[in-house]
Structure 1
Amino acid sequence: MEAADEERPLIHHLPPQDDEASKYTSDGTVDINNQPAPKQTTGNWRACFTILGSEFTECMAFFAIGKNLVRFLTSELHETNVDAAKNVSTWIGSCFLTPVIGAFLADTYWGRYKTIVIFLLVYTIGMLILTVSASLPLIMVVPSNSGIRRVAVYLGLYLVALGTGGVKPCASALGADQFDATDPVERATKGSFFNWYYFSVNIGSLLSGTVLVWVQEDIGWGVGFAVPMVLMVCGLVVFVAGRKVYRYKKLGGSPLTSVAQVVVAAVRNYHLVLPGDASGIEYARQFRFFDKAAIVAPSTGEKCTAARTSPWRLCTPSQVEELKMLLRMLPVWASMVLFFAATAQMSSTLIEQGGVMDNRVGPFTVPPAALATFDVLSVMICIPIYDAVLVPLARRATGKDRGLSQLQRLGVGLALSAVGMAYAALIEAQRLSLARAGAPAISIMWQAPAFAVLGAGEVFASIGILEFFYDESPDGMKSLGNAFAQLAIAAGSYLNSAVLGAVAATTARGGEPGWIPEALNEGHLDYFFWMMAALCLMNLAQFAHCSMKYRGKTIC
């Protein structure tokens, strides 16, 4: 937890402010000169517009790559369907793994503003390398699948993955810093910022899935990557130009260090005997081993006393409880991993499925990656419906302010992931039946409901897990909690890559084409979708079991 947050007083304890004091924020934020931040000239929406602009351009670049990457790898680098799907999932997983690095550097060393600037520069270099690599066959006599081009492509991709790790965990947090938490008016306005933040993410995704995907397919990959690269440079310039109006949080200790100290201290004190537990509370008795980190070991001598008071030998009870809070959330986090493995199909196997369907819609030719637009539209439609219709109805039924509890919201999202996978399996079975009978290919628009259902699942689960980790994480670990939520997306993508590899290895033995061969009409992609649907149902059952036992900070 940052030092400024630790010292923040409760609003009703604040003394009456005179005119001079009211000119500055009261939450410990400072301006660019490290002086108390003036309310009239820093922060609020005047600062957020540039932050939202940089996030919008970053999302345009990220989705311009991710939505159509499987097509780029198969058509330009001539990778197999399985290899391309695995590599896409691995890359997306890396994009949501690196935020842990960005959050740590921001909280411990650089601060959020500097972290965003540095990582945006890395991001831009990655986009430049990717753009050049996509254009190599045009500007040089280089075979499309040459080793040089392959190295350049993956170097650019993973520099982008590293760059996004500094933006994703810091942009929303820096935007929230622009509102004084001790000012009731600004605190209420902060909620609007998060709405517009998520809206800018989805607008970037929508434009990437329509305009930029069309540019990539019909004009060229080099141009399709160059456009978001130029936009990112513009976003970086605008973001830096707003540095004088930003409010900055003072750096505090790293929450990762606090967690590590508890683990190390508990291991060092493993031989100590725990005192009797008189609380009688089940969750207080969980993970009792880590309570040893807060036991004062008997010692004599000045040197022993100094060692005993070391934070790596003796921790506070609050530190121990913070670690336990994180451990209690692990079963919920694990349930989300399979959910994100299912949604990862929207950038891998569903794109490959769309590639063998009839993509003519009236006078237009629809790129397979453009179907992901229905995922974005579903999210943008379902969010206001959720807030304006579902929450009031659920509130009347449950009597809870939120309508659905956080865990109930997550459960609905997990159920929708199973529905989406089952629908994709049915469509693939029908497509295979017609293809093997020599009938015309079915329309790609039959995929739209699968994307829409998975998008609705994201409204419940993807947003819900961010809210869950923010509310349930210890006060000093809110940023780390956000990074853990992003880590679930990474783990889901890695899991999808591993499952695809296992399916390819086990179903293509003895000369068989397997479930996901190069020619999908010879395989059984529908079996893969049915398997994912079954795993999603099992995951839902596991989640229901662990959610009934969950006891956290808030009533979930």
Structure 2
Amino acid sequence: MEEDDIYTKDGTVDYKGNPANKKKTGTWKACPYIIGNEGCERLAYYGMSTNLVLYFKHQLNQQSATATRNNQNWSGTCFITPLIGAFLADSYLGRYWTIACFSIIYIIGMTFLALSASVHGMKPRCYAKDNCDPTEAQSAMTFLALYLIALGTGGIKPCVSSYGADQFDDADEKEKKHKSSFFNWFYFSINIGALIAASVLVWIQTNISWGWGFGIPAIAMAIAVCFFFSGTRLYRNQIPAGSPITRLCQYFIIGCAEVFTFIGQLEFFYEQAPDAMRSFCSALSLTTVALGSYLSSLLVTIVSSVTAKDGKLGWIPDNLNHGHVDYFFWLLGALSVANFVVFLWIAKWYTYKTAVGTLSVHQK
């Protein structure tokens, strides 16, 4: 009986494929490596993406509407590719190998992007600070790097938080309680990475060079991978299983229910989703963000083409001071109000968890 208590009861295994030993794997022994990986990866992602529209405008010589549209299309792709990563993780590779393989693709993309902004002959030739003339090959390399990054992040976004949840055995009440603390620290690391990226790295890109501005995120991503591999011996791994076709149908039904009912409550979300399907359920929720990015790109295209007829500058010209970007912002404000109204209308179908404090009062 005591020997049975040594191993997890949720079917997880260690890096050798043996049943996971509670005393040697998982919980807070493994989580610091996952949290460190996520913090560095988010610093790399936001450090590279936050200022991307300006890079398109000033270095690739794109107009404002074109730069915005390209940025939104790329961002949408970053939230669509998790469907690929999640499917591979849950059906074939497992979360560990999916994160590992896609991280390598991520680093290759980050390296190409840093090289395209710093190496002579690969970076655009500039006559002044904001006056550059890139060749088609240079622009192509930039977008090749960006879409490699989009593919790489597709294997990480849906798996890392799920992989953290795998480190706690839901059949063990003591471990289950610690899962909430993991998610708190997980999101804290995301916000710290995003804060450094949006302040320090954006300043470097604007005031020092794009080479360093993209090079530092590439280094951060390399550190993230080192963090992840350092914890290999301590991780607990779910075994992928089941027919891909059958599971896809299950993913769609369960994933849609989870997205529309529990979106934004990831701790509860992971408790409800079956262990082997967590990554795909998470990826389905990310597709709503992807859809928003693609619709934003379409909105910019429509507004630019409609308002720029008959020789007019339109709402979003290359020089925003000469257009009516304020009209565009009013349009976005109106859409936000419409979104809030829809939220209130749909809220009547939501399910809610009773607050612990409230429940104890009623029980008394």
Deviation at 1:324, TM superposition (A): 5.3
1:59 aligns with 42
CA deviation profile, 1:89-129 (whole Å, cap 9, x unmatched): 11111111111111000000100000001000000000011
Contact 1:325 1:552 (8 Å CA) reproduced? no
**In 2 relative to 1, CA 81–553 (structure 1 residues): closer, same or farther, beyond 3 Å?**
same
1:96 aligns with 79
2:310 aligns with 510
* 5+ long unaligned stretches in structure 1: 1-17, 261-318, 334-405, 407-461
2:173 aligns with 184
1:494 aligns with 294
Within 2, Cα distance between the matches of 1:102 and 1:140?
Answer: 31
Within 1, Cα distance between the matches of 2:124 and 2:173?
Answer: 63
Greater length-normalized contact order (CA 8 Å, ≥ 6 residues apart): 2
Within 1, Cα distance between the matches of 2:43 and 2:107?
Answer: 13
Deviation at 1:481, TM superposition (A): 2.2
SS at match of 1:96: helix
Contact 1:89 1:496 (8 Å CA) reproduced? yes
TM-score (norm 1): 0.59
Within 2, Cα distance between the matches of 1:107 and 1:137?
Answer: 43
Within 2, Cα distance between the matches of 1:175 and 1:66?
Answer: 25
Within 2, Cα distance between the matches of 1:229 and 1:34?
Answer: 32
TM-score (norm 2): 0.88
Within 2, Cα distance between the matches of 1:101 and 1:45?
Answer: 29
Deviation at 1:234, TM superposition (A): 2.4
**In 2 relative to 1, CA 242–551 (structure 1 residues): closer, same or farther, beyond 3 Å?**
closer
CA deviation profile, 1:51-88 (whole Å, cap 9, x unmatched): 11111121111101111001111111111111111111
Within 2, Cα distance between the matches of 1:183 and 1:116?
Answer: 26
Deviation at 1:135, TM superposition (A): 1.4
Matching of residue 249 in structure 1 with residue 247 in structure 2: no
Within 2, Cα distance between the matches of 1:214 and 1:129?
Answer: 21
Within 1, Cα distance between the matches of 2:71 and 2:312?
Answer: 25
1:226-241 superposed matches below 5 A: 226-241=215-230
Contact 2:258 2:281 (8 Å CA) reproduced? no
SS at match of 1:135: coil
1:541 aligns with 341
Contact 1:91 1:161 (8 Å CA) reproduced? yes
Deviation at 1:539, TM superposition (A): 2.5
1:367 aligns with none
Contact 1:54 1:236 (8 Å CA) reproduced? yes
1:371 aligns with none
1:152 aligns with 141
Within 2, Cα distance between the matches of 1:523 and 1:141?
Answer: 28
Contact 2:26 2:168 (8 Å CA) reproduced? yes
Contact 2:89 2:279 (8 Å CA) reproduced? no
CA deviation profile, 1:398-441 (whole Å, cap 9, x unmatched): xxxxxxxx6xxxxxxxxxxxxxxxxxxxxxxxxxxxxxxxxxxx
Within 2, Cα distance between the matches of 1:68 and 1:541?
Answer: 32
% identical equivalent positions: 42
1:223 aligns with 212
Within 1, Cα distance between the matches of 2:124 and 2:297?
Answer: 33
Query: Which protein shows a greater Rg?
Result: 1
- What is the total number of aligned residue pairs between the two structures? 349
Deviation at 1:479, TM superposition (A): 2.8
* 5+ long unaligned stretches in structure 2: 127-132, 356-364
Contact 1:472 1:554 (8 Å CA) reproduced? no
Within 2, Cα distance between the matches of 1:136 and 1:254?
Answer: 47
Deviation at 1:142, TM superposition (A): 4.9
Q: Name whichever of 87-96 and 121-130 sits farther off.
A: 87-96
2:153 aligns with 164
**What one-letter code is carried by the residue in structure 2 that aligns with 1:498?**
L
1:66-215 superposed matches below 5 A: 66-137=49-120, 142=125, 144-215=133-204
Deviation at 1:239, TM superposition (A): 1.6
Within 1, Cα distance between the matches of 2:123 and 2:56?
Answer: 19
